[in-house]
Amino acid sequence: MDKGYETGQKPRDFLACLRDHVLLFDGAMGTMIYERGVYVNQCYDALNIQKPDLILGIHRDYADAGADVLTTNTFGANRFLLKKYGYEERTVEINRKGAELARQIAGDELFVAGSMGPPPDRMEPLGKLTAREIREAYHDQAEALIQGGADILILETFSDLGMICEIIREIKGTFPRVPLIGQMTVDKEGRTSLGSTPEIFASEIVRAGADVVGVNCSLGPSKMLEVAERIFRISPVPVSAMPNAGLPQRVDGRNIYFSSPEYFSEYTRRFVQVGVRIVGGCCGTTPDFIRSMRNALRSIQPRKSIQITSLPPQHDEDVDLIPTSKKSRMAEKISRGEFVTTVEIVPPQGPDPKKAVEQSRILFEAGVDAINIPDGPRALSRMASSYLSLIIQQETGGEAIQHFTCRDRNLLGMVGDFLGAYAAGIRNILIITGDPPKMGTFPDASAVFDVDSIGLTRVASILNHGRDLGGNVLKKATGFFIGVGANPGAINPEEEIRRLEEKRDAGAEYIMTQPVFDPEIFLTFMERIRHINLPVIAGIWPLVSVRNAEFMNNEVPGANVPDWVMERLKRTRSREEARETGLAIARETLKILKPHLQGAQISMPFGNVKYPLEVLKEVLS
């Protein structure tokens, strides 16, 4: 019987949680044991009964790093492998103890996954093990793990498709209520050692009864991303991916992995963008990797999200709601169908706003409609966008677009900032989730992410409808012109479009995109979001050098400079020629896109106000 029947309690619903959140598993167990001075000629699984404090310490480190799921130290605790070390008769004890140790650290907050790896031999006809022996061995291991407190069972690093399917059918037939994950290990072409493609083995694993299908080990993040995407395209169940920390190199008799936690952080976002619902680490990964992956996930989804429900359509008749066309000069212009222009000014890293104010004055005099003020871009320490927006509006009489990110303040603080900003005269806002602190100069700073950009858009819309979050009627409604971000070059365009649809339904009134470097990709994206029916302001970044283009490609999330642009810049023979070429490319891009847009948002590389004016000279003339 499964754990739910034995205890009389309903097991926690792992699969329901998986539908709402991407879940983060822990990293390597063997790597951490080895780092603690236990050599590989010992039975690592037996440490559950020999050195339980060592295993508890590893689980605690992963829990502190932000893992949602702790995996038991039982990867090799099947009777076939334990027999090699003389522990065959203690199989049940080792597995039960392994689950109990993980459960001790997990408590009621985290899930425990019972780890089961492959046996040392293949199943008949390719090996000596019979299907009956396999079924009995893994039945016993699964039962012991469940008795010890495992919420989930995970079959990891299998290469024999027939074997893993045999085990899945046995476990799901006996413990149908326990979620089961089936993961294969593959080569760089995505095939198992017996030649099964991701499409084939994923289909068979799902048919056998697994609740989640995926891949782990062997590959680093880059190649595993390709495999995971192929699985996602055909899988009706959630997909998991747990890469190694790259490919190991042998140094002084040890396997050393050279991938960095930061590298894993970037690929965590990419895994989620292609549809993966479970991420984690395999060989070579440590709590530092999991901590970095957690920071990446926080920028995509709040770990402890606060649900913001949509406002009921009715409103109090005593509260006057502000129509979109009356919210700001920019909103009025867009409502009339006119083209708007904005320029981004990054807040200073010190307390002096004079340069930003003077640049704004020049831009307004040239005819620019609004100044776009980012909120802690790339998680760097800068003047708050709220203060700079207010100063620019007061000093110049022009309009600002104030960014609001979900990273730095809790929900109560953000509501207070909304009300204060509106009282101070801010009308145009852009709501984005925000870059995680790991990207910036304070990587250990905490990130809040009470809500994501969709939730924060609902908050602004609720205030615009004259209510607070408790549904109480305000004496005066706010009148924010609410903008949201979009990435036309997203790795997973379906997910990007789905989120845009949710942002529209949450109350968004216009869309501002990340920098566009490839008009073809952008126009394809515009066609796909036609049904969303919101005005689009496209981001244009004038590239002024090859180095500038490489920076965008490598260090700005979501930016993708196409090869033809890079080649055109590389053919230039001087800084001046590169700068003029980059400005020309930006003007050409804007000219192509303008008929499809409601506006353009021009970035200002290196704080030089001449660059955006060069790009906009035909529009403003």
296-305, 311-320, 342-351, 528-537: lowest mean pLDDT where?
A: 311-320
Region of poorest pLDDT, from 104-108, 347-351, 449-453, 617-621: 449-453
The answer to whether position 310 is within a domain reads: no
- Is 231 contained in some domain? yes
Question: Are 68 and 169 contained in the same domain?
Answer: yes
* Dihedral of the alpha carbons of 64, 65, 69, 75, in degrees to the nearest 10: -100
The reported pLDDT for the residue numbered 48 is 96
Q: Residue 185 is part of a domain; what is its CATH number?
A: 3.20.20.330
pLDDT at 450: 67
Task: Classify burial at 440, counting beta carbons within 10 Å of its beta carbon; exposed 0-12, middle 13-18, buried 19 or more.
Answer: middle
Q: Which residues contact 461 (CB under 8 A, 6 or more apart)?
A: 310, 311, 482, 506, 507
In a domain, 259, yes or no: yes
Q: What is the CATH number of the domain that holds 470?
A: 3.20.20.220
Read off the pLDDT of each residue in 326-349 and give the average, rounded to a whole number: 95
Together in a domain, 246 and 372: no
Give me the residues paired with residue 430 across strands.
403, 483
Contact status, residue 483 vs residue 508, Cβ threshold 8 Å: yes
Residues 522 and 449 placed together within one structural domain of the fold = yes
Q: Indicate whether 293 and 329 sit together in one domain.
A: no
* Together in a domain, 240 and 350: no
Q: How many domains does the chain have?
A: 2
Q: What mean pLDDT comes out for the span 467-491? A: 88
What tens digit of pLDDT does each residue of 131-159 get?
999 999 999 999 999 999 999 999 999 99
- Same-domain status, 211 and 356: no
d(CA 434, CA 447): 10
* pLDDT computed for residue 398 by the predictor: 97
What is the pLDDT at residue 445? Answer: 46
Which one of 300, 315, 338 terminates a domain? Answer: 300
Please give the pLDDT value at position 463.
93
Distances from the Cα of 334 to the Cαs of 96, 346, 350, 495, 611, in angstroms? 65, 24, 34, 27, 24
What is the tens place of the pLDDT at every residue in 237-252? 999 999 988 654 443 4
Q: Could you tell me the residue range of the domain that residue 33 belongs to?
A: 3-300
Judged against a pLDDT cut of 60, whether residue 444 lies above it is answered with: no
Lowest mean pLDDT among 251-260, 333-342, 442-451: 251-260
Q: What phi and psi values does residue 15 have, to the nearest 5 degrees?
A: -70, -35
Non-local CB neighbours of 72 within 8 Å, separated by 6+ positions: 95, 98, 99, 101, 102, 112, 113, 114, 115, 145, 148, 150
Average model confidence (pLDDT) for the chain? 87
pLDDT exceeds 60 at position 377: no
Residue 45 falls inside a structural domain? yes
Alpha-helical regions (H) of 507-543: 519-528
Q: Within this chain, do residues 257 and 111 fall inside the same structural domain, yes or no?
A: yes
Least confident of 19-28, 346-355, 413-422, 436-445: 436-445
Regarding whether 352 and 273 lie in a shared domain, the answer is no
How many whole angstroms separate alpha carbon 166 and alpha carbon 512? 51
Other C-beta atoms closer than 10 Å to the C-beta of 318 total 8
Q: Do you find a cis peptide bond into 125, omega within 30 degrees of 0?
A: yes
**In this structure, are 48 and 181 located in the same domain?**
yes
Residues 153 and 277 in one domain: yes
pLDDT in tens, 412-437: 888 899 999 999 999 999 998 766 54
For 553, the 3-state DSSP assignment is: helix
pTM: 0.61
Does residue 313 lie within any of the structural domains? no
| Exposed/middle/buried for residue 555 (C-beta within 10 Å: 0-12, 13-18, 19+) | exposed
Contact call for residues 609 and 589 (beta carbons, < 8 A):
no
518 within some domain: yes
Q: Which amino acid is at 251?
A: V
Residue where one domain finishes, among candidates 249, 267, 300: 300
Of 218 and 227, more confident: 227
Confidence of residue 387 (pLDDT cuts 50, 70, 90): very high
Distances (CA, A) of 66 to 24, 59, 226, 386: 8, 11, 26, 31
- For residue 576, being part of any structural domain is answered with no
Same structural domain, 94 and 202:
yes
Question: Per-residue pLDDT for 253 more than 60?
Answer: no
Residues 220 and 348 in one domain: no
pLDDT of 404 > 50? The answer is yes
Task: Write the pLDDT tens digit of every residue in 283-322.
Answer: 889 999 999 999 888 766 654 455 565 554 445 556 688 9
What pLDDT sits at residue 435? 60
Domain assignment present for residue 316? The answer is no
Q: What average pLDDT score do residues 528-534 get?
A: 96
Distance (Å, whole) CA 95 – CA 320: 65
Least confident of 157-171, 266-280, 550-564: 550-564
